[in-house]
Structure 1
Amino acid sequence: MYVDLGNALDAEPRLTREALERLDERVADAHDRIERGRAEAAHGYASLNLPETVDPAAVRRAVDRFDDPAAVLSVGIGGSALGAATLAEALGTDLDAYVLDNVDPARVAGLLETLPLSDTVVHVVSRSGTTAETLSNFLIVREAMADAGVDWTERTLVTTGPSGNLRNLADRHDLPVLDVPAGVPGRFSVLSTVALPVAALAGHDVEAIVDGARAEADRLAGSLFESPAYAYGATCHALERRGAGVNAMMPYAESLESFAEWFAQLWAESLGKDAVGQTPARALGATDQHSQLQLYRAGPRDKLVTLVRPRERPDVAIPETDLDGLAYLGGGSLADLLDAEFRATEASLAASNCPNVRIEVDRVDERGVGELLYGMEAACIMYGELAGVETFTQPAVEWGKRAARGLLGGGDVDAEDAVPEKRRLVID
């Protein structure tokens, strides 16, 4: 992974090279804390050990029992689903890859009407084995399979913790089970048994994904000027402290659109605490040059734009044309056009003094995706260390879960006490 900070300096908000050099002393201290956490496999920090602790062979063994499925359905929520969606979209697959990560009844019913249930592998993921949304969706999918005469026990893979309802179900029906890694929060679990089975089912090289992550891990160092991941995390923190409270993640590859959604969860849930943190926005180049770029360039000076692209990509030639005014396109290619759009956006933002960072990988392949995902996780952890927040907790999320369980009568809060009386101002 390559990180270019040039356009993040001396923009608005203003961050100088000298300020980064001063911040680098704190980066060194933060790196030491991170390394101690890794050595102890402490909660959260253990995420950065996944390139060494995950077992790709175990993932392959778990999926080998499923012969050439037509589709894979990931059932989870948040980090238990977004990682799988990111890998499936980024790497592509001959399988039809679906994700159920919400409980919208219209979406669930519509998917079940079209899903080839007899030829679908269901991968259900819940560390606790009690996640309401995940278990509700899984029960519905299981019933749909049974109603269609499909033996759901032959089509289901479980990833869960050491105990809980889902573990008990897997043991009772002799389902293949992978363990959720200890000490790894869901939003940091993409490089583990939580998401890698989807890549394995699609025939991708899981070892290469892990190798890419390992290569990025080897580049972690006590200076932001020696570590791309730390350079990005430290720069984001420094700009946020100066007023850049929004970070727009804008990949120039449609295969990375789900990556931007994955990044949004990672950034928001990890760093949004104690009245600090950047609000992640999602954009897609070149599409959103024709919409959101207007705001980034001419709106409030509270944004950082992160531009992501591969250095190499597949290409499609643009035919020659005799249409007036379009001759300049003929003989070129879509990759050339997209690259020109990328460079123009980068220059446009710089000309308007909007800070932007360029992140590149060689290719959107297994190794490149492994580098990118690990790099963003390490950047997030560095940001959290510098900001002094509890990166690996999510108390605001837990509040909402507890209240929802109370409303449904399944928690430790009475339904009438779960949510205070809503203040209303209704306009009919």
Structure 2
Amino acid sequence: MRVDIGNALDEVASPGVPRDALERLDERVADAHERIARGRADDEFGYAALNLPETADPDAVRAAVEPFDDVETVLTVGIGGSALGAATLSSALADADAPDAYYLDNVDPDHVRTLLDGLDLSRTVVDVVSRSGTTAETLANFLVVREAMAEEGVDWTERTLVTTGESGNLRDLAEKHDLPSVRVPEGVPGRFSVLSTVGLAPAALQGIDIDALLAGAAEAADGLSGSLFETPAYAYGATAYALDIRGAGVNAMMPYAEGLETFAEWFAQLWAESLGKDGLGQTPVRALGATDQHSQLQLYRAGPRDKLVTFVDVDDRPDVPIPETDLEGLDYLADTDLGELLDAEFRATEASLAESGRPSVRVELDALDAHSLGGLLYGMEAACVLAGELYEVETFTQPAVEWGKEAARDILRGERDRSEKATLRVE
């Protein structure tokens, strides 16, 4: 992963970051890096996620998925970080011959029923993911899936992988039925768990190279230093922070690769849940190049000056030549391919924002492969942790999310009114 922050400087954009302000900020980055290094060395909660390239055990993951054969579909039952990481890996890396991947990460009954009705459950592996084993949405969906399997005469115990912590309902279930299982590592919040068993197990079921993924992450980890001018991850996290406090409170993540569309969703959870505290934090927005040049770019270029646009560009793309045509006005497409067109669209969008004085940051990958994606995911996690240190927030907690979970349970138990605010209903 390489990061170019030139178009985020105040000599190009407004809001923008002065070079001397970055140099002053680099002193705080050095202090933050020391705190991160201590946290990693002590395997502290949250900071332990940055040790996953070393502590993850791909052999244990492969052993857990080995019993499953004749796999047509991988169905991950989880929510938030228990599903988004796996979905990111699948979208970016699964090849055409891999088992299909689906996710039950919502309890919308129409979606759940429609999805299950369309699957051959006798050839589906269900990976149920919950660290605590008590996540309401996950357990509810798993019970529905289990019943659907029974109705089709499928032995759910032969088609279920459990990904959970050392104790809890799911751990008890796995032990009772002798189910294949992998442990969610201690000290790793769900949104930081993509490089753990949470992301690696479904990836292994799809034949994704999890060793290359971890190798790319390890390379990024080895590159962490005490300066934003030497560490791409810190350059990104520090620049996003510096722009936010200067008014760019929205961060539009815009990869120029269809396979990274789900990555933008993963990033949105990482950035929002980690940094949105104490009245602070950027609001992440998901976009996709070149598609959203035609739906969002107008706002980014000519709307309020409150946005940072983060581009993710991929150097090496497949060759798909554009056929010759005699249609009038398309001569500029002659002797080009789709990759060149996409690159031209990216360059034009980047230039458009710079010309209008709007800040952007470019993140570059060599290719959309397991090694590069591992580096990108690790880099964004490190950037997020660094930004949390600069904001001085509790990066690894999510009290607002926990409040909502408790409120939902209370409503279901009849212990809380469904509405705690005034209403003005128009019918």
TM-score, normalised via structure 1 length: 0.98
The answer on 1:209 being equivalent to 2:213 is yes
Give, as a single letter, the amino acid of the residue that structure 1 aligns with 2:2.
Y
Q: Which runs of 5+ in 2 are unaligned?
A: none
Return the letter of the residue paired with 2:48: A
- Cα distance in 2 for partners of 1:333, 1:244 equals 35
* 1:310 equivalenced with 2:309 (yes/no): no
1:343 paired residue number: 347
- The answer to whether residue 276 in structure 2 is matched with residue 272 in structure 1 is yes
* AA at the equivalent of 2:143: L
* CA distance in 1: counterparts of 2:318 and 2:87, whole angstroms: 21
Distance 1:28 1:333 in 2: 44
- 8 Å CA contact 1:403–1:418 kept in 2: the answer is no
Shift of 1:306: 0.1
> How many Å apart are 1:315 and its aligned residue?
2.2
1:404 touches 1:418 (CA, 8 Å); kept in 2? no
State how many pairs are aligned: 423
Counting only pairs closer than 5 Å after superposition, residues 9-408 of structure 1 correspond to structure 2 as 9-10=9-10, 11-93=13-95, 94-408=98-412
Question: Would the aligned equivalents of 1:90 and 1:256 in 2 still touch at CA under 8 Å?
Answer: yes
Counterpart residue type for residue 81 of structure 1: A
Q: Distance in 1 between matches of 2:38 and 2:352?
A: 42
Alpha-carbon distance, 1:291 to partner: 1.3
Contact 2:94 2:208 survives alignment (8 Å): no
**Inter-partner Cα distance in structure 2 for 1:418 and 1:224:** 49
> Are residue 427 (structure 1) and residue 426 (structure 2) matched?
yes
| Letter aligned with residue 52 of structure 2 | L
Say if 1:90 and 1:364, in contact at 8 Å, map to a contact too.
yes
Distance (whole Å) between structure 2 residues aligned to residue 298 and residue 373 of structure 1: 31
What secondary structure, in the 3-state scheme, does the structure 1 residue paired with 2:266 have? helix
Listed as ranges, the gaps of 5+ residues in structure 1 are: 410-414
**Aligned partners of 1:100, 1:345: CA distance in 2, in Å?**
35
CA RMSD of aligned residues (A): 0.9
Q: 1:420: Cα distance to partner? A: 5.2
What letter is aligned with 1:89? S
Letter in 2 for 1:180: V
SS in 2 for 1:194: helix
Deviation by residue 1:12-42 (Cα, 9 ceiling, x = unmatched):
1131111100000000000000000000000
The CA distance in 2 between the partners of 1:162 and 1:56, in whole Å, is: 18
**Secondary structure of residue in 2 paired with 1:308:** strand
Q: What SS does structure 1 have at the residue aligned with 2:331?
A: coil
The residue type equivalent to 1:18 in the other structure is D
Q: CA deviation at 1:422?
A: 2.6
How far residue 416 of structure 1 moved from its aligned partner, in angstroms, is 4.2
State the 1:309 CA deviation. 1.4
Runs of 4+ in 1 over 2 A off after TM superposition: 415-422
Letter paired with 1:6: G
The one-letter amino acid of 2:379's match is: G
* Contact 1:9-1:15 within 8 A present in 2 as well: yes
Q: Which amino acid aligns with 1:357?
A: V
Counterpart AA for 2:214: V
Q: Deviations over 1:52-77 (max 9, x none)?
A: 00001111111111114011000000
Q: Tell whether the 8 Å contact from 2:94 to 2:207 is kept in structure 1 after alignment.
A: no
Is the 8 Å Cα contact of residues 237 and 387 (structure 1) preserved in structure 2?
yes
C-alpha displacement of 1:169: 0.6
